[in-house]
């Protein structure tokens, strides 16, 4: 017996280096996939939800690691606006493998040669489930740079317990300029959407290159400013959820998230027209892990993942695997019990028509929409992008709040100067006497 045990020990000792070498040879490099997305725009495992990024890591490491020769870890970070994302990409301060910009920003990124052309029709298997109406659009006419993730329409959210549906401007953009609700109105904290509310209200094309029309839109935003409690992006969820604000323009999908916290909220699409937007998954040209980025996009389009993300974000999706799923439709309808629409599905998947084609014969309930196009700097339009940026800065700086800060600062400086003069005079008096 002792001899058998001794032989086993000798075998173990002899085989140990081989086992160690085998173990080492099986271990793989771990690469990081950097994903940069909007806040609250993916099912992240919170409140027992589906954890998209963790599921992708598991899927990759189990099914694709051997094929590609490395394992994946997802590094996920968020931004508050397209402009924030753009500045980060252009600055080169960080490199990302996946970004999810809006249509007009994709247009701009393509024009500036900042996106990788990965031709999803050939490289992304699940691209076949994207509705044809969302392909070949203005921002990616040849379907080379992007895969639609979610879409929606901007509308007005209001507190039905605090806002009178007979109030002046109700049902239109005018409600956000109603002095009756001063201090209870929120406005977008990004230039494109904020100016959009004003341009639609004035009846102008939101893609106008007429500087006089942009000036007039600024004038209207300046008139609105004393009524505005705050300029917001993600802060809106808390403000509307707690009823500290009663009226705001925002994205239809996010309305459902707020409604879940405050069922006194309701929603409408303004009569004058509004913005339809598409957010799409793209790969920056300087991505260092393009293969994994393509696999991530394909995974995001798979049925379980796409439904989980659509339910979590409450945004409409162009993915047939989702919007034709009966359980998903039932889930969305259960999210809404307001007065303005028959169902939650009707809000997200509303009938839309290009505002330029609006007519009296249009079907009842049609929402008139237009896309934001990229604002370009060209000699023909007088470097409009720079001009609109200047207008936005003017609006944000020239305010009563800013003026009060300047007055307060000036008063403090004068007090300090006065104190210094007094102290100097006292010292001179003591020195003389």
Q: Which of 205, 152, 96 lies closest to 367, judged by CA?
A: 152
121-143 average pLDDT score: 97
Do the strands 185-188 and 352-354 form a parallel or antiparallel pair, or are they unpaired?
Answer: unpaired
Q: Are residues 47 and 193 in the same domain?
A: no
Is the pLDDT at 416 greater than 70? The verdict is: yes
297-320 average pLDDT score: 97
Dump pLDDT digits (tens) for 75-114. 999 998 999 999 999 998 889 999 999 999 999 999 999 9
Is the pLDDT at 406 greater than 50? The verdict is: no
Q: Is 418 a domain residue?
A: yes
Report the SS3 class of residue 327: helix
Q: Is 260 a domain residue?
A: yes
Q: Are residues 219 and 231 in the same domain?
A: yes
Block residue for tokens 């793209």: 282
* Residue 157: both structure tokens together: 């959210």
Is the pLDDT at 400 greater than 50? The verdict is: no
Is the pLDDT at 9 greater than 60? The verdict is: no
Q: Is 387 a domain residue?
A: yes
Name the residue with higher pLDDT: 205 or 9: 205
Do the strands 146-159 and 274-282 form a parallel or antiparallel pair, or are they unpaired?
Answer: antiparallel
Helix (H) or strand (E) holding 231: strand 228-232
Helix (H) or strand (E) holding 29: strand 29-38
What is the CATH classification number for the domain harbouring 206? 3.40.190.10
Q: What is the pLDDT of residue 84?
A: 93
Range(s) of the domain holding residue 330: 152-278+326-400
Whether 129 and 319 have beta carbons less than 8 Å apart is answered as: yes
Q: How far apart are alpha carbons 169 and 240 in whole angstroms?
A: 20
Q: Are residues 42 and 144 in the same domain?
A: yes
Whether 278 and 319 have beta carbons less than 8 Å apart is answered as: no
The dihedrals phi and psi of 278, each to the nearest 5 degrees, come to -125, 130
Q: Are residues 223 and 244 in the same domain?
A: yes
* Residue 160: both structure tokens together: 């039905």
Q: Are residues 139 and 53 in the same domain?
A: yes
Q: What is the pTM of this model?
A: 0.82
Q: What is the pLDDT of residue 362?
A: 87
The dihedrals phi and psi of 327, each to the nearest 5 degrees, come to -65, -40
Report the SS3 class of residue 299: helix
Q: What is the pLDDT of residue 283?
A: 98
Q: What is the pLDDT of residue 144?
A: 98
Is the pLDDT at 212 greater than 90? The verdict is: yes
Q: What is the pLDDT of residue 247?
A: 98
* Residue 202: both structure tokens together: 């004035």
Q: Are residues 182 and 295 in the same domain?
A: no
Q: What is the pLDDT of residue 95?
A: 92
Q: Are residues 188 and 259 in the same domain?
A: yes
Q: Are residues 272 and 376 in the same domain?
A: yes
Helix (H) or strand (E) holding 353: strand 352-354
Q: How far apart are alpha carbons 145 and 136 in whole angstroms?
A: 11
Q: Are residues 43 and 94 in the same domain?
A: yes
Q: Are residues 45 and 104 in the same domain?
A: yes
Q: What is the pLDDT of residue 408?
A: 57
Q: What is the pLDDT of residue 381?
A: 85
Strand partners, 30: 71
Q: How many domains does the chain have?
A: 3
Dump pLDDT digits (tens) for 309-364. 999 999 999 999 999 999 999 999 999 998 899 999 999 999 999 999 988 888 88
């Amino acid at each position: 017996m002792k001899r058998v045990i001794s032989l086993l020990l000798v075998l173990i000792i002899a085989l140990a280096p081989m086992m160690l070498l085998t173990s080492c040879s099986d271990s793989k490099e771990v690469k990081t996939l950097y994903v940069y997305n909007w806040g609250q725009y993916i099912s992240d495992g919170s409140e027992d939800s589906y954890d998209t990024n963790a599921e992708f890591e598991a899927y990759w490491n189990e099914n694709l690691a051997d094929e590609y020769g490395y394992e994946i870890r997802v590094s996920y970070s968020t931004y508050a606006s397209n402009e924030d994302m753009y500045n980060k990409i252009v600055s080169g301060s960080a490199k990302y493998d996946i970004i999810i910009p809006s249509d007009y920003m994709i247009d701009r990124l393509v024009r500036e040669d900042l996106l990788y052309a990965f031709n999803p029709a050939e490289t992304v298997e699940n691209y076949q489930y994207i509705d044809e109406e969302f392909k070949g659009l203005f921002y990616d006419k040849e379907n080379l740079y992007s895969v639609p993730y979610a879409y929606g329409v901007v509308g007005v959210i209001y507190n039905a317990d605090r806002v009178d549906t007979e109030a002046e401007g109700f049902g239109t953009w005018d409600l956000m300029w109603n002095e009756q609700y001063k201090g209870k109105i929120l406005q977008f904290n990004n230039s494109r959407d904020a100016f959009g509310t004003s341009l639609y209200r004035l009846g102008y094309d939101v893609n106008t290159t007429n500087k006089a029309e942009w000036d007039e839109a600024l004038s209207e935003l300046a008139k609105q400013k004393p009524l505005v409690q705050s300029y917001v992006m993600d802060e809106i969820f808390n403000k509307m959820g707690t009823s500290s604000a009663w009226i705001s323009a925002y994205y239809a999908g996010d309305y459902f998230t707020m409604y879940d916290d405050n069922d006194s909220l309701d929603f409408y699409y303004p009569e004058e027209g509004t913005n339809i937007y598409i957010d799409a998954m793209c790969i920056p040209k300087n991505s260092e892990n393009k293969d994994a980025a393509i696999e991530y996009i394909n995974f995001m389009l798979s049925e379980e993942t796409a439904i989980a993300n659509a339910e979590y974000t409450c945004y409409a999706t162009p993915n047939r695997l989702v919007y034709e799923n009966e359980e998903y439709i039932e889930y969305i309808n259960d999210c809404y019990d307001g007065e303005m629409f028959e169902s939650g599905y009707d809000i997200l998947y509303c009938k839309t028509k290009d505002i330029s084609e609006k007519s009296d014969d249009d079907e009842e309930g049609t929402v008139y929409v237009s896309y934001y196009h990229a604002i370009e700097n060209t000699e023909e339009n007088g470097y409009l992008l720079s001009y609109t940026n200047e207008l936005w800065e003017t609006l944000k700086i020239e305010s009563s709040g800013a003026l009060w800060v300047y007055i307060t600062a000036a008063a403090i400086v004068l007090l300090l100067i006065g104190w210094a003069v007094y102290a100097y005079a006292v010292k001179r008096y003591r020195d003389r006497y």
